[in-house]
Amino acid sequence: MALKYKLILASGSPRRVDLLNQAGIEPSRLMPMDIDEAPKKSEHPRSLARRLSAEKAEAALAAIKTDITWKGSYILSADTVVAVGRRILGKAEFADEALNSLHLLSGRNHMVYTGVCLVTPDRKVRQKIVETKVRFKRLSGFEIENYLASGQWRGKAGAYGIQGLAGTFVQKMVGSYTNVVGLPLYETILLLTGEGFDVHSRWPEG
Q: Which residues are catalytic?
A: 79
d(CA 45, CA 183): 16
DSSP codes joined into one string, 56-121? HHHHHHHHHTT-GGGTT-EEEEEEEEEEETTEEE-B--SHHHHHHHHHHHTTSEEEEEEEEEEE-T
CB-based contact 5:73 (threshold 8 Å): yes
